[in-house]
Amino acid sequence: MSVVESFEDIIRHQSVEELLPFLLQLSKAEVVPVRNKTKDLRKELEQQRQLGIITWGRVGTNEQVGMLFLAAVATYSRKEALRLVDTLRITLGSEASSTKQRKYFLQVAAQARPIWLSEWLQRQSGGSPWGLPSYNFLREMEARGAVEYEPAFFARTVAQSLHTFSYTKNETRSVKNYDAVILQSIEQNIAFMRRDLIACFDYATTIDSASAYTGVGYIGWQDIIVRLAASGHLSRADLLTRCLLALRGDVSRWFKNLYLALQPTTAEKLARQSELVELLAHASPLVVHFALDQLKALWTESGFEPAPLLRYVEGLVTRQDLKTGLRTLSRGW
């Protein structure tokens, strides 16, 4: 049999156990003919039609559909991948797909290394955080060379991953201490904390809203980050600076609230007075009021430099949305 005939026989009459070695051994010359046959078989086996008097369904079995998806990962170009849909959600890396399916996918993706995979994974989410692959699954794809590290994508995934830590009825540990269990599991993953979690300060993510159920309540990223800073797993100085830098482009209360939750000392505020002063040019009065409130406590400190602040005074006085802030400013002189 030709390579195409062998491929079709596997899809129609055999299992993924036979398909996997077939895909892993494909030569460059065989990729295109197998790709074309994959498209033909997907068109046939994934179509919905009437199967009985009152029943409708897909022509192919779930196993056949999963096998064809693996074949697409191994052979599709970016052009074909634009129309590729993972109907079994294998790439979510969740319990929606079996451990075996995810294992096979990782093997094929690591061998084929399709240049479109990272872009395709992001597009699959449709902009929704719930459509993202699991963080651990994404990290495993990275470790195997199936996808390259992309800070924004990894940040979105790690922020959303907090939901996966939620307590369930299947847990055997004490509910009362479950927040500590979550924290411990995060502390053990250095890349999770110091690379991908930190990247959430630079990109749009769900870090401000994601939470995990502890069995008695919810824990969010603010609680976790404050604890990681207190334990020394994350740099307190770095976090304080990142909060202020993040506020330059984000009017979310989250970064402001995290900064305040870290309870910066006078010395720490003085060390960041330039970042605070630069926030006075922000379009949001919320951010400007926050910056003025922080600076107010520094005006009598010997280490405070008023000259940079004076450059912003004229602009502040002419703003109609800063009445409270202007009173704060006037009381400082």
Classify the C-alpha dihedral 14-31-109-151 as positive or negative. negative
The pLDDT tens digits for 252-308 are 789 999 999 999 999 999 999 999 999 998 888 889 889 999 998 898 899 999 888
The pLDDT tens digits for 188-212 are 988 899 899 999 999 999 999 999 9
Average of pLDDT values for 1-26?
96
- Contact (Cβ atoms closer than 8 angstroms) between residue 182 and residue 144: no
Phi and psi angles of residue 300, each rounded to the nearest 5 degrees, phi first: -95, 0
- Domain holding 53, by residue range, is 1-90+97-112
Residue 60 domain flag: yes
Domain count for the chain: 1
Residue 23 domain flag: yes
In angstroms, rounded to a whole number, what is the distance separating the alpha carbons of residues 239 and 308?
23
Structure token digits, residue 287:
């951010």
- Which ranges of the chain would DSSP assign to H, the alpha helix? 3-13, 16-24, 28-45, 62-75, 78-81, 99-112, 117-124, 135-143, 151-160, 178-187, 190-191, 221-231, 236-247, 253-261, 266-271, 273-278, 285-296, 307-317, 323-331
- Contact (Cβ atoms closer than 8 angstroms) between residue 57 and residue 48: yes
Provide the pLDDT confidence category of residue 48 given band limits of 50, 70 and 90.
Answer: confident
Mean model confidence pLDDT for the chain = 88
Residue 193 domain flag: no
Nearest by Cα to 185 from 202, 169, 167, 170: 167
What pTM value is reported for the model? 0.87
Residue 251 domain flag: no
Residue 297 domain flag: no
Residue 119 domain flag: no
